[in-house]
Amino acid sequence: MAYNTSKKVVIVGGSLGGLFTGIVFGAGIAFYLMIPPIQEAMKNLGTSGAPIVDFLEQYDGTKTPTLTADGIQYLNKDGSIKFTTGGDGITAQVASWDLLYNILRANFDGGHEAGYVAAPPEMEGDGVANYVSDVRVTDLTEVDELVEVGYESVDGRKGALQADIVIGADGPSSTVRKLLLPEVERTYVGYVTWRGTVKESLLSDETRTLLGTKSCIAFTRGSQVVCYKIPGLKGSLVPGDLFANLVWYQNHDQAELKRILTDSDDVSHKYSLKIGKIDPKVKEEQGKVAAAIFPPQLAEVWQKIESPFIQAITDSLTTKSVFMNEKVFLVGDAVATLRPHTSAGTSQAAMNALFLKKVFDKEGGMSIEEREKTTVGWATFAKKLGVQMGNLSQFGDHPMADNGELSSKM
């Protein structure tokens, strides 16, 4: 950790947004509440973006390598390539959620999973970082120059502590935002992503070669499927160890959503299902749809994914991200839940942390007003872009779609 503020910082939420912010402050206590369905599910996502690269260049003392990707292939239904981008020397770095989380934990408090990412050497001036699991923040009260943070642990113990700065990095259903701006809502947008990974060595040569170093995308009416490689277990970049990561956007109305989010134990969930918990009947139906509408290579990937999971796509956007006389700040998904088409969720969290650094670093040169305008302004733009992309791919006629006779009837 490079930057040590003399202020006491409490970070609510210990996922990527909380860790990016904790690292730039170089001190603080991250309150981390584990919500298993989301966290397990997120192991399978790929993540990339320029602000993440900027962040890691500045703050990652472990210098852990990630995967290099270089463009997109749009596929026809028969598996042929309609259009390709890339090959012009412009590349992107891709990590899995799991890898990025472990890199950030190594930098924040010395590491999470044994034998994954080793902690960087300590630097003079590093702050003290405590990562507290299984604690849910429940209240915030302004007490003169400080904020009192009330919390409850999973075993029911209640407590409170005081902080100079509180960061709400607690995601799309943010408690911090609900306490301070209850009118902001999180809404379902009419479609979900089905997701999953499969080790590339289990794929046919044809499919592995097609995936190469590019994302493959196929559109049919009301459906979009994206597939790309991400690092393998423990961040392995060895060919054969990589995972093919498949993300399939499909429309489901509220009644359908309720049905598919009812798990194999007949328990109903609001936004996501734990890996391995999809009702086998629902999984079988999805397999038939995938076989009918996907290009054959992506149908093969779907068919080989053992345990897919479902995530409902939701929108939320705050109108304000600073509260309690400039002592409480929102970052990441608590600011805006961005549609995954933009690939911007993790980038937003990294960018929000970099802006906070500019505000609290004496030489940073950013005022709180500028930070607020940029944070909410950027989130508003990115949210709008995601809505347009989603509306076109899910409810419109996408110019890259291959709406064959069969797919248009699905």
Ligand X SMILES: Cc1cc2nc3c(=O)[nH]c(=O)nc-3n(C[C@H](O)[C@H](O)[C@H](O)COP(=O)(O)OP(=O)(O)OC[C@H]3O[C@@H](n4cnc5c(N)ncnc54)[C@H](O)[C@@H]3O)c2cc1C
Query: Looking at 11, 99, 169, 242, which residue binds ligand X (CB under 6 A)?
Result: 169
Query: Looking at 28, 111, 332, 386, which residue binds ligand X (CB under 6 A)?
Result: 332
Query: Looking at 66, 224, 318, 346, which residue binds ligand X (CB under 6 A)?
Result: 346
DSSP 122: P
Stretch that binds ligand X, among 260-268, 345-353, 371-379, 399-407 (CB under 6 A): 345-353
Q: E strands, 200-288, where?
A: 215-220, 223-230, 243-251
Q: Give the H or E element holding residue 165.
A: strand 165-168
Query: Looking at 1, 8, 11, 13, which residue binds ligand X (CB under 6 A)?
Result: 13
Q: Which is nearer to ligand X, 282 or 335 (by Cβ)? A: 335
Q: What CA dihedral angle connects 213, 82, 344 and 115, to 10 degrees?
A: -20
Q: How far is the CB of 370 from ligand X (least distance, A)?
A: 21
**136 makes contact with ligand X (CB under 6 A):** yes
> What per-residue string of b and e applies to 3-21 under the rule 16 or more CB within 10 Å gives b?
bbbeebbbbbbbbbbbbbb
Site string for ligand X, 46-65 (x = CB under 6 A): xx------------------
Q: How far is the CB of 330 from ligand X (least distance, A)?
A: 9
Query: Looking at 250, 286, 311, 316, which residue binds ligand X (CB under 6 A)?
Result: 311
CB 260 within 8 A of CB 249: no
Q: Which is nearer to ligand X, 42 or 242 (by Cβ)? A: 42
Cross-strand bridge partners of residue 262: 268
Cross-strand bridge partners of residue 247: 195, 226
Q: How far apart are CA 78 and CA 74, in angstroms?
A: 12
**340 makes contact with ligand X (CB under 6 A):** yes
Site string for ligand X, 20-39 (x = CB under 6 A): -----------xxx-x--x-
Spatial CB neighbours of 163, under 8 Å, sequence gap ≥ 6: 7, 8, 9, 10, 146, 147, 149, 327
**349 makes contact with ligand X (CB under 6 A):** yes
Q: E strands, 200-272, where?
A: 215-220, 223-230, 243-251
Site string for ligand X, 175-194 (x = CB under 6 A): x-------------------
Q: How far is the CB of 8 from ligand X (least distance, A)?
A: 17
Q: How far is the CB of 112 from ligand X (least distance, A)?
A: 13
Q: How far is the CB of 206 from ligand X (least distance, A)?
A: 25
Q: What CA dihedral angle connects 149, 154, 157 and 161, to 10 degrees?
A: -20
Q: How far is the CB of 131 from ligand X (least distance, A)?
A: 11
Spatial CB neighbours of 33, under 8 Å, sequence gap ≥ 6: 13, 14, 133, 134, 135, 136, 137, 170
Show the tokens assigned to 199: 């080790």
The strand pair at 146-153 and 223-230 is best described as unpaired
**345 makes contact with ligand X (CB under 6 A):** yes
Number of residues near ligand X (by CB under 6 A): 34
**14 makes contact with ligand X (CB under 6 A):** yes
Q: Which is nearer to ligand X, 177 or 208 (by Cβ)? A: 177
- Share of the chain residues as helix, strand and coil, in percent rounded to the nearest 5: 35, 30, 35
Stretch that binds ligand X, among 65-73, 124-132, 287-295, 344-352 (CB under 6 A): 344-352
**66 makes contact with ligand X (CB under 6 A):** no
Query: Rule CB under 6 A: which residues touch ligand X?
Result: 12-18, 31-33, 35, 38, 41-42, 45-47, 136-137, 169-172, 175, 311, 332-334, 340, 343, 345-347, 349
